[in-house]
Amino acid sequence: MASNSSRFHHALFRAISSVPFLFVAIWCFRTMEPEKIVAFSQPAAASGFIDWDGGKLKMLDRFYGVEALDQAFRGAMASFAPSTLGYDSISSWQFFHFLVDMGPIYTIWFLESSRALNAWSPAYFPTFFALLGQVVGVGTVVPLFYFLCIVFRPTQTDLARAPRRQSHFQGSIPVVPLIMLFHTSVVFAMFLAPDLSARHYWTWAWQLSPLWIGLGNVAAHQAAALLGWKGSPSSSSFMAPGQMLGVMGLISAGVWTYTLLSSPHSLGTLFVPQAGPQAGLALHMRKALQADEVGVVIGIFLWLAYCFAELHVGGLLGNGWLLYFLLGPVAILCVGPGAAFALGWYARERILEAVGKP
């Protein structure tokens, strides 16, 4: 009983200390104002045509072959059109970079889900939270996801001191090929295909990309089990975690560098949402997508800060926390948020590896 009471009080303390994540989620949801997105996109969804100054595109009537899904996503096709079709230049640059940055983030989510100590915790269900993010905005879901992870997952000290079979990644999970196939390549087609109809098609295809990644992950597990392949405790895929993140991080850093060098807009214009109401679909979606990205960036780095703080409190980091604190903003500026998050996560893993060695 005393042990249960201790665990309850520990979880309560972690929940209270993680309240900032909930503030970020609430701010993002309120700033995005989903009801306005629905209202602004309804005329195009009803007419079947996306109109803008100098252009018009007929929307696909069917895509998934399931009436409920096709109807549910028609409004999303209209709301994303200013970005994917490029008639709002600011939103197009920002949203393209934002979605590419989700590649490293999804990779880390699936890596964490394959850690034995995270079994049946919120971190074990990345597909559910990624799909939820497609519906209500990832900027709202990411802080909520990490709030739940902090409250219910093992501490950094637990991860470092647990047996390697529990604290390290298990199984064969082709994370990078799945994310490259169903997310990153589709995002590039959404924004860079020369034909606008093709961009519209790939935007439809992207809507359920987290589901296809999750199903592919399950299929890979089942195939590995049938073949009797268990993998090594230090490897979670065809590549080690550092190599996997290196691939996704390079893509993310490349798009960030391209944005810095080629975008005609300043970083503030691209990524800081305007205060106050924005008239019309294009301007409101620009603000909503910028707030969406801000929510994600704050959520991921706040989680990393909590992880390093736990390492420091547990005596596993020493005075190294100051170095990571100072290098964080520099890394974000140099390689972008997605790649910087991958670097921070990998640095944490190296610390856990060093502590866990016999």
pLDDT tens by residue, 311-332: 877 777 766 667 777 888 889 9
Count of domains in the chain?
1
Percent share of the chain, pLDDT over 70: 84
- Confidence band, pLDDT 50/70/90 cuts, at residue 170: low
Residues 37-86 pLDDT 10s: 999 999 988 888 998 888 899 998 889 888 888 888 888 899 999 999 99
Residue 43, both tokens = 């005329």
How far is 335 from 178, CA to CA, in rounded Å? Answer: 23
Least confident of 97-101, 127-131, 278-282, 315-319: 315-319
Per-residue model confidence (pLDDT) at position 179: 93
Nearest to 122 by CA among 134, 108, 109, 135: 109
Residue 351, both tokens = 């610390």
How far is 358 from 341, CA to CA, in rounded Å? Answer: 28
How far is 103 from 249, CA to CA, in rounded Å? Answer: 8
The DSSP bridge partners found for residue 52 are 55
Least confident of 213-222, 237-246, 279-288: 237-246
Mean pLDDT calculated for residue range 28-36: 94
Domain that holds residue 332: 2-356
Residue 120: left (phi > 0), alpha (psi -120 to 50), or beta?
A: left
How far is 65 from 267, CA to CA, in rounded Å? Answer: 40
Number of H helices, E strands in the chain: 18, 2
> If you average pLDDT over every residue of the chain, what do you get?
85
Q: Computed from CA positions of residues 131, 134, 139, 141, in that sequence, does the dihedral angle turn out positive or negative?
A: negative
Q: What is the pTM of this model?
A: 0.88
How far is 72 from 63, CA to CA, in rounded Å? Answer: 11
Nearest to 50 by CA among 84, 91, 95, 89: 84
Residues 269-293 pLDDT 10s: 999 999 888 888 999 999 999 999 9
Residue 153, both tokens = 């997952």
